[in-house]
Structure 1
Amino acid sequence: MEQYYKLDKIKELADNDQDFIFALAQTFLEEVPADAAILQTAVQNQNYLLSYQTAHKMKPTVDMFELGVLDDLIEVQDWGKFEQTDKDVTNQLAKVLQAVENATKEIKEDFNL
């Protein structure tokens, strides 16, 4: 089975404290899927400021859980930040949304949440 997230950085940060790792997994589930939905709507509505703010908020968590789409998320963030009306970030957004969906499902299974 393909692994959609990694805990290497989190284990290092947590000094392998299982309770802290569990708390971070819970926080991921509480925040990231909701932020991804906001990001999707913001991009669809060409709400550049909200796209920028939401992508920027998601970056540390996406990086910490190593979802593999940080560069795509940064492209969406920059699209919003610089109001790049001539750029299409649909593919990058789709990759981010899929990665979040896959990781969310896997984290729920792995942590019995």
Structure 2
Amino acid sequence: MKKVTYDLSQIIEMSDNDPDFIKLMVDTFIEEMPVDLDYLALAIKEEDRENVHRYAHKIKPSLELFGLQGHLNAVVLESWGKGDETKDINKNFKFLYQELQETLIQLKRDF
């Protein structure tokens, strides 16, 4: 079994361990993250810097809230979207995508 990729401690703390709130946050993440990830992937494929920045910026707080390392990759993608030519966005997106796919599987299994 793979290591759990997410950490709900921030959500637990902000909700005073309210199981309904935690479930709502998880369900929202499961519902919205794949859509945003698809838009981000399309923007990267099309080298659409404005939308890469927009979607990386949009998902970054959720990644941090769920304790995912991918928030660091989102920062790189966000920076590239602002015009930073030196970043390897494909490598960063690949890591982010893989981590999110595993996290979504785990969250669906656990909730």
| TM-score bracket relative to the smaller structure | over 0.9
Give runs of aligned pairs for residues 1-113 of structure 1, distance below 5 A: 1=1, 2-81=3-82, 83-111=83-111
Shift of 1:78: 0.7
In the alignment of these two chains, the number of paired residues is 110
Identity %: 32
RMSD of Structure 2 on Structure 1 (CA)? 1.1
Runs of 5+ consecutive residues of structure 2 not aligned to the other structure: none
Shift of 1:4: 1.1
**Runs of 4+ with deviation above 4 angstroms:** none
What is the TM-score normalised by the length of structure 2? 0.94
Distance in structure 2 (CA, Å) of the matches to 1:88 and 1:65: 24
Shift of 1:85: 4.0
Q: Deviations over 1:25-49 (max 9, x none)?
A: 0000111111111111101110000
Q: Structure 2: which amino acid aligns with 1:20?
A: F
Segment of structure 1 superposing worse, 13-22 or 87-96: 87-96
What is the TM-score normalised by the length of structure 1? 0.92
Q: Structure 1: which amino acid aligns with 2:24?
A: A
Distance in structure 2 (CA, Å) of the matches to 1:61 and 1:79: 20
Are 2:76 and 2:87, in contact at CA under 8 Å, matched by a contact in 1?
Answer: no
Shift of 1:69: 1.5
Q: Structure 1: which amino acid aligns with 2:32?
A: E
